[in-house]
Amino acid sequence: MMSSTTLRKDRMPPDVSSLLEENGLAAGWTRSKKMPVAASEQKMSYTDRVEALRNAKRAQTFEKQLVRGSMDFDDHGIVLPPDGQYRVVHSMSGSGIEINDAILTTFIPSGNHPSGEFVGARACGENFRKLLEIHPVHIEPASSLAGAYMVNFMSYRKLTWNPDVDCSALLAEHERYHTIPVIGAVQHMCPDLAIGLRLGWGGLLEQVHRGALANPDAVDFYAGLVHVILGAQDWIRRHAETASRMVTEDSPLAENLAQIAEMNARLVTAAPRSFRDACQWILWYLLIARMYNGSGGLGKLDLLLQPFYDADSKAGSLTDEEATFHLACLLVRDTAYLQLGGPDQSGKDVTNRVSYLTLEAAHQLGIATNVGVAVGKDVDRNLLHRGVEILVEDRCGTPKFLGVDNTIAGFAANGFPVELARQRAYAGCHWSALPGREYACMDVVKFSFPAILDVSLREMMADGGVSPSVAELWDRFKLHLRSAIATAARGIDFHYEHMHQNFPELVIDLLCHGPLESGVDASHGGVEFYTFGVDGAGLATAADSLSAIEEQVERNRRLSWAELIKHLDSDWAGAEGEKARKLLLGSGRFGEGHSTGDEWAVRIATEFTLAVKEQPTPRGLMMIPGIFSWVLNIQLGKKLGATPNGRHAGERISHGANPDPGFRHDGAPTALAVAVAKVQCGYGNTSPMQMDIAPTYGDTAQNVAVLEALIRGHFELGGTQINMNVVNREQILEAHNDPSRFPDLVVRVTGFSAYFSSLSPELRQLVVDRLLCD
Amino acid sequence: MNLVTNTSRLSTEYDSVVGRVFNIQRFSTQDGPGIRTTVFLKGCPLHCAWCHNPEGLSPQTSIAYSPDKCIECGECVAACLNGCHKIGEQSVLSPSHTYERRGCRTCGSCASVCPAGAMELIGRDVSVAEVLAEVLEDKPFYAHSGGGITLSGGEPLAQIDFAVALLKAARKEGLHCCVETSGHATWDRLCQLLPLVDLFLYDYKETDPERHRQYTGKTNEAILKNLHSLHDSGAQIQLNCPVIPGFNDRDDHLAGIAALTESLPRLRAVRLLQYHPLGSDKLKRLGLPLQPGALGKLNNETIERWLRVLRQRGIHALN
């Protein structure tokens, strides 16, 4: 808690000072809101309470599906606002795709731009604070933690970019190759939760004040930060007050509610003291970060919570059952990305008891979670074993598996010390970052390899001065690839220069090393490291296309170049078109094993890596390549015509680093693991392997053993991440036909997991088509 | 089958030995412990009525034709010297592409030019080096699962020189080696494999000698004699017992399995292989008649009952 003697008011800029006046931490400032009460209040064991939370989650998910329709993204723990207080809008998510969203009608943002939009740190902070101040309270009495978020702040924005800074020409250049730009991207970096756990909201406010004093020119930035904190404190305080009012003598969860009230009254300003406090603090930050701009990175949760666990266990105030329960209450509220195990700075494995309890919490819940288990030569082998047991038993696509040895070595290959590389933490779909120190914008920039190939092919065919050939096509592809990368690099510099004027990080800034000290937003130079992740998408589509051209057009001369173009343009129309399509489909495929398709996939991945690492952006910012499409392979496919691998116009392009389905008629799991291991870029970004499998290798122990071997083998070959679904084949096919019959079916879609019934038919089809047949 | 042509392994004196295989199957989990690659050798002295790999019976190459994959490009017509392929007017009664097996020499010319994979040559002559390069692709997975290489078929003992060479080369690479065998061969051949095999997966198809001859084409005396000799020589053996409805799903055969197992105290396990009817599509593609064994479907309860009976007698029985 801040005392006036710590401030030198005479040196404070006036408007920050007024905010401090407001921040008298007035007691009794309540907002009475009706909150949903979950489940029965019968006497409840922890098992009962987890069941109550799961039932509530199921109901909340169903409501969301009814109101928002398909949700082709992370499940998130967002709940619908109270009836009569929301309306549905079409907006852009924090991950850059268009979504249907429900927004509170009780909040109307104030614009500071003639367009009516709010831009820049002060306006974003002010509006976010107002949103937090009217945001309803959410307490489920069965939970040991309070809070849930109901809106995405970004859904109130009319424009994705500050109109005063024109980027239309740059965006048009990106569009030539269907490249998804970084301009306007948010979060996709990992906050350092250790800062918050050490300081609490009150301590953070003090840090902001100190920074404001040291950097008076950054008054708007600090004003924005102050607003965020004050809004957070108000929201938390209202939960404390509401919980206090909910305590009645005859409530069987009265003690729990009283604890929630007491704990949150403290956490308005104080740093957490206990394991439960820490879980609650982390949850508050996570909910606020999600609400602000979709950030969901937790990093090394087991390492963060270990001191609290050790202290409470030693004091006899925490049992493993209680700790697991608190973790479950955290995980049920949001599908944040977290890492368990892996080396610390010195190389020692950090796997501890909390690692296992987190797995157990996810296991008890059986919902969508994004728990990543580190796998490496020095990482506790039992952690992987337990993770695979849970994966096989629960069939929820959790956990996922992180090839830490390879991502650490890769990041170090950029020229960083290995001790630094070891500190990176898994915090998003397919990526890791240094907590609070690395602005990475991971999983944003996407290059469409098939679109680049199409531009190259058309250009070659239009050039009357050359004889078409595969060699000529490949040379042009390399040039256009570099052109696409150069455009994206200029986009990165533009984003770095101007994003803070649009929609600065603010919430993540609070848990970074640098922004509070320097007054500079993380997107604009406030942190130490800038490593923009750039991903290639549609690798298999491009590789199989080049293979088809090489085999059928050039080598076997079964199709001429002109005929190929004719059939592409007509989208394989007519009997001749269909014949040509089947001819090309029968060519060597990526994933088959030593086929022409495999050779091309390796060549493309290698060339892409080389091209990205050839030089930094014009400003000198680093880019690190990966191969990943998220769910954007559907969107990228919709805008692309037919491709020489036999794909129809508008169909999705290939997913991530995976071969296209049907790449092998048998032996697919190991062939897949070998193939994807060969297209790793290195440098600390990932090319995840997506494996969807219905294991029938024997009993459960045998299934676990086989999957463990697949995971270890893939990483031994160089793999960096594995997203795995263990499914019941008949069930997934039935669920695709009628998702409503399986409301609890959870799948790992790509890097994220979600309820199968929440996905659109197209995304469900993607999962079904990926299923490997033995 | 894309064979690996480049390998970084050190060559051995066995590399150039050639054999005939009809499939190299990666990620086999039912042909021995762990994750394995199974090499199917062509040719078998038995002709079991229920054979799941009929393409492996003959030591000669054969042609599989999948009309659904055909794109009627006509490449096979041009390639075939015997006029076995015709592409004509499509009618309701006859497909546009007809393939006449009678005059076919199974040279594989059509398969080598077919762009859609509709014509497939079953059986290729490959060297130990080529096979091993393919097998070694999955070496990390063997190491982590206790898997390795399995020789199957067909009957591996029917190409003993190739089998021995392949196993010796595999052992030099540190691979765990299994062989699936009917046991119908000379003892001399089995002796050659003895020091090279970590686990024999030995078929036991029928107790009654006359029924054995009816169902497989040979009696079982030599098979049983070899089994006992193999066991007494210290080999690790798992007995694989296919259970075929309408053929050997009888209580007397079950009693025979139990008695045989009890006479072989060092047997690793008995595995009951549940029969699944072979799709008629596969037989049609190979130009083979429908199997009598393909008509029945085994009741799951039979397998469960047999497992209970064996386990009650203290036998380590699996399915």
Distance from CA of B208 to the nearest CA of A (A): 30
Instruction: Give B-chain residues touching A697 at CB under 8 angstroms.
Output: 29-30
Spatial distance between the Cα atoms of B100 and B63, rounded to a whole number of angstroms: 11
Predicted ipTM of the assembly: 0.91
The answer to whether A690 touches A663, Cβ cutoff 8 Å, is no
A522/chain B closest Cα distance in angstroms: 42
Q: Mean pLDDT over residues A496-518, rounded?
A: 97
* Interfacial B residues in 140-169 facing A (CB < 8 Å): 140-141, 143-145, 147
pLDDT, tens only, B15-51:
999 999 999 999 999 999 999 999 999 999 999 988 8
Arithmetic mean of pLDDT, A12-20: 38
- A658 or B284: which carries more pLDDT confidence? A658
Q: Is the CB of B26 less than 8 angstroms away from the CB of A666?
A: yes
Give the nearest partner residue to B115 out of A583, A593, A713, using CB atoms.
A583
- A774 contacts in B (CB within 8 Å)? 27, 29
pLDDT recorded at residue B282: 80
- Mean pLDDT for A194-220 is 97
Contacts of A712 in chain B (CB under 8 A): 140, 144
Contacts of B72 in chain A (CB under 8 A): 579
| Average pLDDT over all residues of chain B | 90
Average pLDDT of the residues in A116-144: 96
Q: Are the beta carbons of A597 and A589 closer than 8 angstroms?
A: yes
Q: Among B27, B30, B140, select the one facing A667 at the smallest CB separation.
A: B27
pLDDT of residue A18: 44
Tell me how close the Cα of B274 comes to any Cα of chain A, in angstroms.
13
pLDDT digits (tens, 9 = 90+) for A550-585: 999 999 999 999 999 999 999 999 999 999 999 999
- Among the residue ranges A7-11, A258-262, A310-314, the one predicted with the least confidence is A7-11
Measure CB to CB from residue B71 to each of A579, A674, A709 and give the nearest one: A579
CA distance A446 to chain B (A): 31
Q: Given a cut of 60, is residue A38 above it in pLDDT?
A: no
Give chain B's end-to-end CA distance (angstroms, integer): 30
* Closest Cβ–Cβ partner in A583, A668, A670 for B116: A583
A551/chain B closest Cα distance in angstroms: 9
Interface probe with A: pick from B8, B28, B29, B89, most Cβ of A within 10 Å = B29
Residue B11: predicted pLDDT = 75
B136-157 confidence digits (pLDDT tens): 999 999 999 999 999 999 999 9
Q: What is the mean pLDDT of chain A?
A: 91
Q: Give the whole-angstrom CA distance, residue A589 versus residue B117.
A: 13
Q: Give the predicted TM-score (pTM) of the model.
A: 0.92
Question: Taking CB atoms and an 8 Å limit, are B2 and A706 in contact across chains?
Answer: no
Lowest mean pLDDT, pick from A421-425, A612-616, A751-755: A751-755
Q: In this predicted model, which residue has the larger pLDDT, A150 or A667? A: A150
C-alpha distance from A572 to closest chain B C-alpha (Å)? 14
Mean pLDDT for A524-532 is: 97
* Residue of chain B with shortest Cα separation from A597: B2
Closest approach of B118 to chain A, Cα-based (Å): 10
- Residue B203 β-bridge partners: B240
Q: Which chain B residues are closer than 8 Å to A592 by Cβ?
A: 2
In chain B, which segments carry CATH 3.30.70.20? Answer: 62-121
Q: Name the 3-class secondary structure at A680.
A: coil
In the predicted model, is pLDDT for residue A767 greater than 90? no
pLDDT score of A3:
27
Using the Cβ of B192 and the Cβ atoms of chain A, whether some distance falls under 8 Å is answered with no
**Mutation test of the interface with chain A: which of B2, B126, B139, choosing the one with the most A Cβ atoms within 10 A?**
B2
Instruction: Please compute, for residue A535, the number of CA atoms within 13 A of its CA located in the half-sphere on the CB side.
Output: 29
Check pLDDT > 80 for residue A24.
Answer: no
Share above pLDDT 90 across residues of chain A, in percent, rounded to a whole number: 79
Q: What is the pLDDT of residue A37?
A: 40
A670 and B115 within 8 Å at the Cβ level: the answer is no
When pLDDT is cut at 50, 70 and 90, the band that residue B296 belongs to is: low
Q: What is the mean pLDDT of residues A681-688?
A: 97
What local confidence, expressed as pLDDT, does residue A306 receive?
Answer: 98
Contact flag B3-A594 (C-beta cutoff 8 Å)? yes
With a pLDDT cut of 70, the percent of chain B lying above it is 91
The per-residue pLDDT for A43 is 65
Whether chain A has a CB inside 8 Å of the CB on B29: the answer is yes
Closest CA to A557 of B65, B107, B75, B71: B75
- Name every residue whose Cβ is closer than 8 Å to that of residue A675 and which is 6 or more positions away in sequence: A590, A591, A593, A598, A601, A659, A663
Whether chain A has a CB inside 8 Å of the CB on B284: the answer is: no
Pairing, β A98-104 against β A86-92 = antiparallel
Structure token digits, residue A439: 């602005």
Q: Give the per-residue pLDDT at B8.
A: 59
Each residue's pLDDT tens digit, A219-261: 999 999 999 999 999 999 999 999 999 997 677 799 999 999 9
Residues of B in contact with A670 (CB under 8 A): 26-27, 35, 137-138, 141
Q: Which of the 8 DSSP states describes residue B178? A: E
In this prediction, residue A762 carries a pLDDT of 86
pLDDT digits (tens, 9 = 90+) for A69-114: 888 888 788 999 998 999 998 887 777 778 888 999 999 999 999 9
How large is the average pLDDT for residues B224-234?
A: 97
Question: In chain A, whose CA is at the least distance from the CA of B4?
Answer: A594
Closest CA to A434 of A443, A445, A444, A425: A425
Nearest CA in chain A to B5: A594
Strand partners of residue B200 = B179, B237
At A194 the three-state DSSP class reads helix
CA distance B86 to A239: 81
Of B4, B117, B143, the CB nearest to A586: B117
Nearest CA in chain B to A588: B2
Cite the DSSP H helix spans in A78-140.
Answer: 120-134
B120 touches chain A (CB under 8 A): no
Q: Which residues of A touch B37 (CB under 8 A)?
A: 667
In the chain, the amino acid numbered B152 is S
A&B contacts, CB < 8 Å: 88
Q: What mean pLDDT is predicted for residues A498-523?
A: 97
The CATH H-level superfamily of B3-59+124-318 is Aldolase class I (3.20.20.70)
Q: Does domain B62-121 have CATH number 2.30.30.60?
A: no
Contact A436, A528 (CB under 8 A): no
Between helices A275-293 and A301-315, what is the axis angle to 10°? 150
SS3 category, A4? helix
Predicted pLDDT of residue A36: 36
How many angstroms separate the Cα of A680 from the Cα of each of A179, A448, A601, A757, B41? 20, 17, 11, 32, 35
Question: Which chain A residue's Cα is nearest to B68?
Answer: A582
With an 8 Å Cβ cutoff, are B75 and A595 in contact?
Answer: no
How confident is the model at residue B95, as a pLDDT?
Answer: 56
Cβ of residue B91 closer than 8 Å to a chain A Cβ: no
Q: Would the CB atoms of A582 and B71 count as touching at under 8 Å?
A: yes
Asked if B238 is an interface residue toward chain A (Cβ–Cβ < 8 A), one would say no
Cβ-proximal residues to A730 (8 Å cutoff; 6+ apart), any chain: none
Residue B159's contacts (CB-CB under 8 Å, 6 or more residues apart) are B19, B20, B41, B42, B43
Are the C-beta atoms of A550 and A596 separated by less than 8 Å? yes
The kind and range of the H/E element at B223 are: helix B221-232
Chain A interface residues facing chain B, Cβ-Cβ under 8 Å?
552, 556, 558, 579, 582-583, 585-588, 592-595, 666-671, 673-674, 697-698, 702, 705-706, 708-710, 712-713, 716-717, 774
Segments of chain B assigned to CATH 3.20.20.70: 3-59+124-318
Least CA distance to A551: which residue of chain B? B115
Q: Could you say which of A587, A702, A709 has the minimum Cβ distance to residue B141?
A: A709
